[in-house]
Amino acid sequence: MQLVWTPATGLLICDAVSRAVRTPASGQVGAMTAEAGGPEPPEIHQLKNYLSVIIGFCDLLLGDLPMDDPSRVDIQEMRKAGQAALDTLPGLATRMRWP
pLDDT one-digit tens code per residue, 6-28: 555 545 555 555 554 444 444 44
Q: Where are the alpha helices (DSSP H) in 1-97?
A: 15-21, 42-64, 71-95
pTM of the model: 0.59
Q: What is the pLDDT of residue 6?
A: 54
List, for residues 58-78, the tens digit of each pLDDT value: 999 999 999 999 999 999 999
Q: Where are the domains of the chain?
A: 3-24+39-95
- Is 59 within 8 Å of 17 (Cβ atoms)? yes
CA distance 69 to 95: 41
Q: Residue 34: helix, strand or coil by DSSP?
A: coil
